[in-house]
A and B are shown apart, each in its own frame.
Chain A
Amino acid sequence: GQNIDQPTEMTATEGAIVQINCTYQTSGFNGLFWYQQHAGEAPTFLSYNVLDGLEEKGRFSSFLSRSKGYSYLLLKELQMKDSASYLCAVQDSNYQLIWGAGTKLIIKP
Chain B
Amino acid sequence: ETGVTQTPRHLVMGMTNKKSLKCEQHLGHNAMYWYKQSAKKPLELMFVYNFKEQTENNSVPSRFSPECPNSSHLFLHLHTLQPEDSALYLCASSGTAGGYSPLHFGNGTRLTVT
Whether B77 sits at the interface, judged by CB under 8 Å, is: no
Chain B positions 70 through 114: 1 when the CB is less than 8 Å from some CB of chain A, otherwise 0: 000000000000000000001000000111101111111000000
B96–chain A nearest beta-carbon distance, Å:
10
- Given known contacts A42-B90, A42-B105, is B43 in contact with A95 (CB within 8 Å)? no
B-side interface residues, number (CB < 8 Å): 18
Our pick among A35, A42, A45, A48 for the contact of B108 (Cβ within 8 Å) is A42
Number of A-B contacts (CB under 8 A): 44
B100 CB contact (under 8 Å) in A4, A44, A50, A94: A50
Our pick among B42, B43, B100 for the contact of A31 (Cβ within 8 Å) is B100
Tell me whether A95 and B108 are in contact (CB under 8 A): no
Q: Which residues of B contact A (CB under 8 A)?
A: 4, 40-43, 45, 90, 97-100, 102-108
